Amino acid sequence: MESQTFNPDSLKIVPLPALPNTQGLSSSTFCQPPLDGTLAISEMWDWHAEHSPEHPVFMHSDDDGSISTLYWPEARRALHRAGCLVKNFVVAHPTTRSRKPIVSILTSSDTITYTTVMLGVQRAGFVSFAISSRNSPAAVAHLLTTTSSEYILIGRDQNLQDLLSAAFQLMQDANTPLPFKMPIPIFEDLFVEGATDFVPLPPLNADWDEPMVMMHSSGTTAFPKPITWTHYRQINVGRIPYYGEQDLTGVKFACHSLAIFHAIGIIQTCFSASVGNIMTAFKPQSPARVPAPDIMIDAVRITKSEVLLCVPSFVEEWSKSPESVEVLRQTKGVFYGGGPLAKEAGDLLRDAGVQIFTMYGTSEYGVMNLILPNKAHHDWEYFSLPKPLKARLMPFDEEGHVQLVLLPSEYQVPSVLNVVIDGIPGYDTNDVLAPHPTDPGFYKLFGRADEQIMHSTGEKTNPVPLEAILNLDPRIQCAVMFGRGKFTTGVIVEPKPEFRFDPVDHAKLAEFKSLIWPTVEKMNSYAPQHSRLFKEMVMVVSPSKPFVYTAKGTPRRVAIINDYADEIEALYAAADEATEDDLSPPSNWSYDAAKEFIRAVVTRVLEHSVNDNDDIFQHGCDSLEATWIRNSVVHALRETTEVNPRTIPGNFVYQNPTVDSLASFVSGLASSNGQEGSAQDQAVAFMRSMVEKYTHDLPKHVPSSPAPTEEVILVSGTTGSLGSSLLDQLIKMPSVRKVYAFNRKSRTPLAERQREGLEERGYDADGILGSEKLSLVETTMEDEKLGLPTELYNEIRTSVTHIIHNAWPVNFNLSLRSFEPSVRGVRHLIDLALGSPHPVPPQIVFVSSIGVFRDIDVSKPVVERPLDAKVAAGSGYSESKWVSESILSIATKEAGVPTVSTRVGQMTGAVSGAWNAQEWFPSLLKSSIHLGCVPTLDKTISWIPVDAAATAFIEMRTSKSSTLHLAHPRPVAWSAVVEPLATEFNLAQVSYDEWMARLEKSGRGLSAESEVAMMRHNPALKIFDFFKDAQNGIDRSPEAMALPQMDVTEAQVSAPSLRTLPQLSGRDAMNWVAYWRKLGFLA
């Protein structure tokens, strides 16, 4: 997915296709206007005056409670009066520019007047530019300057006059020409009571590419950007409701709080002309009535409005009033937009029988959700995309979130094209969507890609819904969360005016935190574990540095966080020292006393108790809480012993993640005053004790049936790359009668996950999933009997002939203790095998890893032999693989289970080219394209294609060797695959040191927003430490990236296919590139 710029007007689809017959079906007063482009939206007012004269356009309630209705003929006259007033002003103030004049509008006029004036400007042949009255003078000056607006209609309110004067002053200071300004007409100028005369404006005869209306972005992170809708785009917006499920003709839309200068307001003006829904609003007056929830709900009740268009804050207020809820219950539903709606409020209204719809759209496109579904989804935050809308949902993270990219279609052509996918220009919305967990085709807005807070732990926090919860507190004006690059989140809170104070007053600060803490706890109950807030991570705004807001009234997140950068750093520094220091340390550090103290600390920090042998990280402990536990222990040791805190490992909580193991560690540390053995010695001792624990009391194999004539294979972890290939090949083997595919339980059905894994890699998903041989099994292998029902367990136990154990968590930050459930699963597979009635237990093929070689001489090939524990010590992942290899080896020697542990090296893409784009080599290539250069290395690579690896693993099911290596037996030079890539992408070839220097420089001095954007195009920055380690160890091994070179002599005996495996070449490299391009990862 590459950023580029294109002209969207060159991609329009004309003539426009015929529309579904969904609107105006039961109306006797409305005639559908031509929506083929022969008329502009503003010209449809003329058409309706002739063809729909008795159809209402606007309705409003009067002061006496009566209702006034405005019909198309008088609306048409008002439109032309507005257009003529503006046209006369333009003629009287000519400019030298030859293009279509831009008439900006800066006003807070009422809905009816604003709509009429804006469309009147367009009907007169000018471009209307709606500018938010909530902008700052600098933003107004920026918009007028960048668009070269010649004219501006200014509201009559003094605050607007002052705003424009300040903007003009900034423009004069910059020697920028000022637009001519004209007071905006008021309602009485346009809707002249009793008058039927008007001067008609000439037809427009608009060209498709002719600009009609302009608006601007909200400017959350910078100045707002102007966005233009052409005649083509405006017509397409008007056609949107025809793709919906409800007939909206004659339906009264409550537009009382609608800001017409926003896209949602401009969209509504298109709808009223195209489908004839009726806009209900406040009584027109100058100055306009300021919308508020209470007066709007009264107006809705009086006018009997059927669909409410409003901002979330109004909905949240109505949810608190039973009377308002009853009014809403009588309507067709509430359409909210412009921000997130608090889930508590939405759920309450839904449960009360109110239909809740989200209005999801952008200024660059229009509306992206269905307008209007027949019924709101039960999970009201979720919406569906209209069928003709072409969208690409690009994978965003491992949790299944997707980033929405919009492609040109008959539905709409985006006004901005900033990305290319499969050769097609599109608009990357930067919006991240969350698919519904059980209802395919429904999504909710998760947040913005540039709003996601990426923590140092690799976790992400989506601040928007969490901030929305905090903002419900009656004392909080606004909350902005932070934590990019840190281990946890924090928040800056701006109190409402009546609650503001100077946070240097610590007593008032503590009191305020206590008052808002129930709301924080409510947020914490909703938030993911890693996103929870602690009191120590709550900041309050200083009076000298108040929040700055956009024209929409939303906080300028980046500017605020930059303003408070020093305070944020100080807060994290203080958190590093935080402890539960009100807990008294024990009088002595015997094991029992230490365990009692550790138990108290853990319970206090986690806010719940755990069993002494439970892994605290599997019971909710996160990095911040681990820091709290560590600091509390170190503080207690410093107070009561002579242990030097500097000698205590920083990760001892991670290495000892149970109350029991922590107590043992701390007791031993205290008794020796910190003179413990090396960290490696401690790790090795624990690895060996775990091996002993899981090889104790191995059952005896008791054969009771003859040898089977057909193979039954149990294979675990089949949804990934290697697992999908294993499944594909096993299903095709004539000798295989049955395949049990074991995978962990998940919210997503296993069949759906398996299909996705197969299709993504180009395998025949229908054929595989439809095979009678296949049995998909959801399991928890760490549980007794693998977490299976007894009947199914016995079926597998008595039939399986071979086991290929591929499933394993990949997380290099966890300790061995946290991998213990996976190790326990290995023992349970051994128990399954030993329970077999066959003469020989099923052979277990264990997929181990090259990662076990952490401390070994890699200057020469590593032989296929068992390893000393010290070689694998230092990472929980590598230690867990060594422990499992050792357990299997002992099971072979002591219980007769045939096993083979195969350490696999770097695997490349499948036959289809499918190679996970998140791995290090795809990241290196994409970053190289960004940097314009690729590193050269005088090294070899012994990477093996994943399909070849799967074939070898299957052949190894009958191996007589207990330890094998799996890598390509005929390595090639690094240049064999890199040089063709350099040619394909026109990349300079530079030394690895030079490439690293350029990579490092590309990541310097980035803001939070630009960091997210940069990593999208330059993903090697995400794993910079990996590339740095490779640079530091570049001379250690003949293999590229300092990887060990593995001997594969015995592997070629066990897996004959390796002997004839073709060497990697540029053809393979281009195959990977084709897949990454198809994925949108590369251009």
Q: Buried b vs exposed e over 40-66: b needs ≥16 C-beta within 10 Å?
A: bbbbbbbbbbeebeebbbbbbbeeeee
295-326 pLDDT tens trace: 899 999 999 999 999 888 789 889 988 999 99
**DSSP strand E in 483-594: where?**
490-495, 538-540
| Whether pLDDT at 221 is above 50 | no
Could you tell me the pLDDT band of residue 650, with boundaries at 50, 70 and 90?
low
> For residue 321, is it within any domain?
no
Q: How far apart are the first and last CA of the chain?
A: 6
Task: Supply the DSSP string of 441-506, one letter for each residue.
Answer: TEEEEEEETTT-EE-TTS-EE-HHHHHHHHTTSTTEEEEEEE-TTSSS-EEEEEE-GGG---TT-H
| Token pair for 156 | 């009559």
Task: Judge if 597 and 491 occupy the same domain.
Answer: no
If one compares 174 and 857, the residue with the highest pLDDT of the two is 174
Report CA dihedral (645, 648, 650, 652) to the nearest 10 degrees. -130
* Nearest Cα residue to 725 out of 1066, 1059, 954, 881: 954
CA pair distance 1040, 471, nearest whole angstrom: 52
Q: Is pLDDT at 452 greater than 90 in this prediction?
A: no
Averaged over 1030-1037, what is the pLDDT?
Answer: 86
Residue recorded with tokens 């694998």: 872
pLDDT tens sequence across 559-578: 898 899 899 988 887 765 65
Say what the pLDDT of residue 10 is.
Answer: 83
Identify whether 687 is part of a domain: no
Q: What is the mean pLDDT of residues 712-730?
A: 96
Are 568 and 602 within one domain? no
* Phi, psi dihedral angles at 185 (to 5 degrees): -65, 150
CATH number for the domain spanning 140: value is: 3.40.50.980
Residues 563 and 616 in one domain: no
Domain CATH code at residue 497: 3.30.300.30
Residue 540 sits in the same domain as residue 609 = no
Identify residue 829 by its one-letter amino acid code. Answer: L
- At residue 1008 the predicted structure's pLDDT band, cuts being 50, 70 and 90, is very low
Taking residue 492's Cβ as centre, other Cβ atoms within 10 Å add up to 24
Higher pLDDT: 1007 or 790? It is: 790
Cα–Cα distance, 900 to 885 (Å, whole number): 8
Residue 1062 neighbours by CB under 8 Å, 6+ apart: none
Q: Please answer whether residues 433 and 404 qualify as being in contact, where contact means their C-beta atoms are separated by less than 8 angstroms.
A: yes
pLDDT top residue among 451 and 886: 886
How far apart (Å, rounded) are the C-alpha atoms in residues 1073 and 1083? 9
Distances (CA, A) of 263 to 140, 360, 370, 1079: 17, 11, 16, 32
CA distance 602 to 1043: 39
Kindly tell me the burial class for residue 281, based on how many C-beta atoms sit within 10 Å of its own C-beta (0-12, 13-18, 19 or more): buried
Average pLDDT over residues 413-424: 86
**Per-residue model confidence (pLDDT) at position 219:** 53
- 69's enclosing H/E stretch is strand 67-71
pLDDT in tens, 806-862: 999 887 757 787 788 999 999 999 999 999 999 999 999 999 999 999 888 888 899
Q: What is the pLDDT of residue 1036?
A: 85
Residues 596 and 556 in one domain: no
Comparing C-alpha atoms, which of 144, 142, 164 is closest to residue 154? 164
Domain contains 1074: yes
Q: At residue 378, what is the residue type?
A: H
**What integer pLDDT is reported at residue 1071 of this predicted model?**
95
Do you find a cis peptide bond into 287, omega within 30 degrees of 0?
yes
Q: Where are the alpha helices (DSSP H) in 696-789?
A: 721-732, 750-760, 765-769
Task: Examine the domain organization and report whether 460 and 595 are in the same domain.
Answer: no
CA distances from 895 to 155, 502, 781 (A): 89, 72, 21
Q: What is the domain range of residue 930?
A: 920-1079
Q: Strand pairing of 933-936 and 774-779? A: unpaired
Number of structural domains found in the chain: 4
**Residue 879 — pLDDT band, cuts 50, 70, 90?**
very high
Average pLDDT for the chain: 89
Whether 549 and 616 share a structural domain: no
CA 551/CA 147 separation, integer angstroms = 18
Count the Cβ atoms, other than its own, within 10 Å of residue 911.
Answer: 15
Please say whether the beta carbons of 356 and 380 come within 8 A: yes
**What residue has token string 């970053």?**
927
Give yes or no: residues 670 and 545 share one domain.
no
Helix (H, G, I), strand (E, B) or coil at 279: strand
Q: Do 990 and 1074 share a domain, yes or no?
A: yes
Residue 161 structure tokens: 């006059």
Which H or E run contains 593?
helix 591-606
pLDDT (0 to 100) of residue 435: 92
Instruction: Report CA-CA distances (Å) from 1079 to 391, 422, 913, 1082.
Output: 14, 8, 11, 8
Please check whether residue 80 lies inside any domain of the structure: yes
Please name the amino acid found at residue 244: G
What pTM value is reported for the model?
0.54
Do 508 and 622 fall into the same domain?
no
Same domain, 467 and 548: yes
| Residue 256: per-residue pLDDT | 92
β-strands 226-230, 211-216 pairing: antiparallel
Per DSSP, helices labelled H in 182-289 are 187-190, 231-239, 263-274
670-709: per-residue pLDDT in tens?
766 545 455 676 778 788 878 888 898 899 999 999 999 9
Phi-psi region of 1064 (alpha: psi -120 to 50; beta: other; left: phi over 0): beta
Residue 915 has pLDDT above 60, yes or no: yes
Taking a C-beta distance cutoff of 8 angstroms, is the pair 549, 604 a contact?
A: no
Higher pLDDT, 794 or 1007: 794
pLDDT at 2 over 70: no
Inter-CA distances, 175 with 150, 172, 273, 478, 631, Å: 15, 5, 41, 37, 59
CA distances from 594 to 615, 633, 634, 668, 956 (A): 17, 10, 12, 10, 49
- 220 pLDDT tier (thresholds 50, 70, 90): very low
Do residues 460 and 599 share a domain? no
For residues 936 and 947, give the distance between their C-alpha atoms in angstroms, rounded to a whole number: 27
How far apart are alpha carbons 832 and 842 in whole angstroms?
Answer: 9
Q: With respect to residue 24, please indicate whether it lies within any of the assigned structural domains.
A: no
Helix (H) or strand (E) run with residue 990 in it? strand 988-991
Last residue of a domain, one of 676, 696, 731: 676
618, 641, 676 — which closes off a domain?
A: 676
Q: Which residues contact 1017 (CB under 8 A, 6 or more apart)?
A: 2, 3, 926, 930
pLDDT band at 458 (very low <50, low <70, confident <90, very high): very low
Q: Stretch 325-334: mean pLDDT, rounded?
A: 95
Q: Which helix (H) or strand (E) holds 310?
A: strand 307-310
**532 vs 72, higher pLDDT:** 72
Under a CB-based contact definition with an 8 Å cutoff, are residues 541 and 482 in contact? no
Lowest-confidence pick of 35-44, 836-845, 1005-1014:
1005-1014
The answer to whether residue 161 sits within a structural domain is yes
In a domain, 306, yes or no: no
Identify whether 272 is part of a domain: no
Among 630, 661, 676, identify where a domain stops.
676
Tell me the pLDDT band of 956, cut-offs 50, 70 and 90. very high
Record the tokens describing residue 751, joined without a space.
């069949």
CATH number of the structural domain spanning residue 966: 3.40.50.720
